[in-house]
Amino acid sequence: MSHRAMILGAMATGTTEVEGLLEGDDVLATARAAEAFGARVERLGEGRWRVTGRGGLMSPPGTIDFGNAGTGVRLLMGAAAGYTLSATFDGDASLRKRPMGRVTDHLERMGARFDWSGAKGLLPATLTGGRLMAIDHVQTVASAQVKSAILLAGLNAEGVTSVTEPEKSRDHTERMLRAFGAEVEVDDAGEGWVIRLKGGQQLRGTSVAVPGDPSSAAFPLAAGLLVPGSEVTVAGVMLNSLRTGLFDTWCEMGADLTVSNRRVAGGEEVGDITARHSTLNGVVVPEGRAASMIDEYPILAATAAFAKGQTVMRGVGEMRVKESDRIRLMVDGLRGCGVSVEEEPEGFIVSGSSVPGGATVHTAHDHRIAMSHLVLGMAAQRPVTVDEPEMIATSFPGFVEMMRSLGGAIT
């Protein structure tokens, strides 16, 4: 939601006030990109930002470096494609390995052009936008990034753009587009839905309150479940049903997880979640739940290492094309800590018990791999070490300090 607030604010006419912005390195990269595309971006205080848009995007003065921000680069590719401009997108070594074709192929169907400096589908890439035509797209993999890029491009395409999702992905873009004044039609078709958006709509600046991120809240809550004697409450966490798959899974595993003070903030349901030390049991995670928790499988795997029996996680091949091959890295890290893990092409199975720990885990610059193994180390028999901890700041600045304040021993 922080990425989307910055991007839609830059596309809009007028001023957008944002509260609760997640000030991780990834979001800050998107903020810098929004400024490069012509918006005025100001930090007013902790989590408080103002974006003043010109009613459209303009060609940036140079190459835009998105660092490790996969969400930022893919969504801004879609947003920028609808304007008559040229822009070069790049990122760090990790982002350069992540597939962009899953977004750019569809934008090219709409009329955008991408020129690749190296291998097709990998950054850096130069976009030439404008004169788009609407498309009807059917998702084969539940991906909010792909859906969002197409919808953002559709704002400035001729005709009605539609995205059909047989399996629902997170709907933050649809909700926020409405907050910015766009008309977005959603036809619920049971398990899936169809989203339609007419081109030629102008966004208007608004106020955005960003709820607490379930992906970030997962780490202190997991520590609360695993460390004996613990009770941890995280306030103001988003409870959108398309983002709570991890919490549902933990409850099925027997977690003592409660939600209080439910309320609405920024158009999203939020609440305060309390986790208490629990005895967990392995479960088979429904494959259809993957879209609602794809970023949370690493921390789920860490908690599954302490559960009695097997936790089966399948239908999560998308994990292999995140910041790293998260299936491979979690398998390697857990095995190094003495956990029995079976790797599959599209998933993995963790057989839980007590965890010896004691490993040094290779994270491949992946923040979620690092945080998941640090939480694992808090409950393991011996300390767990991760390399490249600086990457944690991409999504969770202050993670180490916060966990220390709860009693976690991180050095």
Is 295 tagged catalytic? yes
**Taking a C-beta distance cutoff of 8 angstroms, is the pair 310, 282 a contact?**
yes
SS (H, E, C) the chain: CHHHHHHHHHHCEEEEEEECCCCCHHHHHHHHHHHHCCCEEEEEECCEEEEEEECCCCCCCCCEECCCCHHHHHHHHHHHHCCCCEEEEECCCCHHHCCCHHHHHHHHHHCCEEEECCCCCCCCEEEECCCEECCEEECCCCCHHHHHHHHHHHCCEECEEEEEECCCCCCHHHHHHHHCCCCEEEEEECCEEEEEEECCCCCECCEEECCECHHHHHHHHHHHHHCCCCEEEEEEEECCCCCCHHHHHHHHCCCEEEEEEEEEECCEEEEEEEEECCCCECCEECHHHHHHCHHHHHHHHHHHCCCEEEEEEECCHHHHHCCCCHHHHHHHHHHHCCCEEEEECCEEEEEECCCCECCEECCCCCHHHHHHHHHHHHHCCECCEECCHHHHHHCCCCHHHHHHHCCCCCC
Dihedrals φ, ψ of 143, to 5°? -140, 110
Lookup result for tokens 């990790």: 94
Report the distance separating Cα 306 and Cα 315, nearest Å. Answer: 22
Q: Which candidate in 26, 65, 171, 295 is catalytic?
A: 295
Known catalytic residues are: 295
